[in-house]
Amino acid sequence: MAKFIIAPHMRLHEWVARDKGYFEREGLDCEFTIRGGEYSGRKLFDWMTLEGTLAGHAKAGEISRAKLRAIFEAANGVDPNDNSPATVARRASAALASFHGATFLATLEIERGGKRPDGTGNFRDKNVIGKILRVGDQGYRRLEQPAPQPIERSALPQPQTSAAPGGTPAMAAPAIARPTWAE
C-alpha cells in the first residue's frame, strides 16, 4: 500500500483523502523485515486498523488486535490458552512501543491482487503474513529478542530564536489548529 502524504496547502488532496475515508480510521503502518533464509532482508508492509468510523472498521480493528496479540504472545513465549490473572495482566500492560523490533516466526502467504475499480486489470499480488506461530503450534520456537530499539520520530520544529529587525525577539509562528472536520 502506497503511503498517502499530506502537505500543507494541498486542500484538494485533503478533500479527496477525507472523501475516501483516509481520516476516518486510526491504525498502525507496519513494516516487517524477513530475517534469515533466502528472502532475508525483504520487507512486508501492513496497515493495521485499530479504530474507525466507517463500515468494516470495527471488524478490521478486531483482526488487527488479534494479530498484535499473536505477535506479542509469539515474541514473549506466552501460551495463547493461558488466561491466568498474571498472563492477562501481562497482555494488558503491553505497549505499542514494545512491538518495535520484536522477532517472531510466521508463515507467509500471497494475497492475490483484486480487480481495479476502473477496469484496467488487477492490482499486483503481494506477500502477507499468514499465520503467526505461537506456543503449541507446530514449528514454534521462541526467538531471542533484540534489545529494545529507539523509535525514530520526525524532528519537531525548533522555536525561532533569532532577533527581528530592531533587536526585538522574533515571534514564533502560531500553532496549527486541528481542522474542524477532524474533531
The Cα–Cα gap between 76 and 73 comes to 5
Within a domain: 52: yes
Within a domain: 85: yes
Tell me if 103 sits within 8 A of 143, measured CB to CB: yes
Within a domain: 83: yes
pTM of the model: 0.68
pLDDT given for residue 122 in this prediction: 92
Within a domain: 109: yes
The Cα–Cα gap between 60 and 11 comes to 29
Domain count, the chain: 1
Residues 88-127, buried b or exposed e (16+ Cβ, 10 A)?
eeebeebeeeeeeebebbbeeeeeeeeeeeeeeeeeeeeb
Q: Which structural domain, as residue segments, surrounds residue 104? A: 28-150
Any idea which residue has 505497549 for its cell? 95
pLDDT given for residue 159 in this prediction: 54
pLDDT < 50 stretches in the chain: 9
Within a domain: 86: yes
Within a domain: 18: no
pLDDT given for residue 168 in this prediction: 54
Within a domain: 162: no
